[in-house]
Structures are given as structure tokens and as C-alpha cells.
Amino acid sequence: MTDIYIENYSEKSFVVLGETKPHKENIKKLGGKWNSRLRNNKMGWIFPISKKDSIEKYINNFKTNGNIPEIEASQSKTFNISQKDLENILKRLKKLEQEVKELKNNDADEEVQHKIPRRRLLKTFDSKYEGRINRPYDED
């Protein structure tokens, strides 16, 4: 029987280590990404912490039955999101809704209303790719 186990990697992820080759296709279906450059010269499959329950269930099923369980397509398509991530998304949505309301209530002309969010987006883009693009909005 192959040895397969879970180790915590960070507060947002964990890894599946051991003899995982027979489980390769199932691990991919469950959302794992192969990483050959983990800390401490380890190699394994990295997962977001939200998938830990399903992976533990898979490994326990394998260890008790001794054979590799079949993973159905519906199991691999499930979307897991943590409560904390969901709350953060909702906060960001509320903030964006508030910004849109403020822009709509602004008495400035229509051209200015369109430039404000565009400039903000372009500045974000520029900070990521600093010096690699032409910035036509700076000519104003």
C-alpha cells in the first residue's frame, strides 16, 4: 500500500505528500496543483485550505479500503469558498456599490465621471507593469 499524507503548508494552503503517483488523476480532479519546489526541498500537490476536508476524506477512504477510490466528475466541479473569503467579497462589493452611488450623485459632467474609475484602473495596471506601457491619460 502506498503512503500518502497531508501536511499544512501555510495558513491558506496544505500539501499532499508521499507516493502520490497512483493518485495523480484523482488529485488533479480534486483541484491539486503539482509543485516540485516546495519548502525544505519537498515535492507534492498543493491545495487551498478550503479543500482540506474533501482531501482528508479521499485519503481516509483510500487507507481504509486499500484501493484508489473513483472520483466522479461532479465531485471535481464543486466550488468551495470559506466564510472569511465570502465576507471579504461582500465587503468589496458594498464598497464598489458605494463608489458607484457617489459617482452617480456627483454633479460633474459625464466625461469626468468616466475618467475617474478609468484612471484608477490604469494606475493599478501601471503599478503592476511600471514603465512597460505608454500612458496616454497622463497627457491631460
This prediction's pTM: 0.49
Q: Which residues pair with 8 in a beta bridge?
A: 14
Domain final residue pick, 48, 76, 104: 76
Considering the domain architecture, whether residues 61 and 92 belong to the same structural domain is answered as: no
* Band of pLDDT at residue 128, cut at 50, 70 and 90: low
DSSP state of 26: H
Neighbour tally for 75: CB within 10 Å: 15
Domain final residue pick, 76, 103, 125: 76
How many structural domains does the chain have?
Answer: 2
Question: Which candidate, 90, 75, 92, 81, places its Cα nearest to that of 12?
Answer: 81
Over pLDDT 70: what percentage of the chain?
68
Rounded CA separation 54/61 (Å): 10
Considering the domain architecture, whether residues 72 and 133 belong to the same structural domain is answered as: no
What is the average pLDDT value for the chain, to the nearest integer?
A: 76
Rounded CA separation 77/132 (Å): 38
Q: Which domain holds residue 91?
A: 83-139
Q: How high is the pLDDT of residue 124?
A: 53
Cell of residue 137, nine digits? 491619460
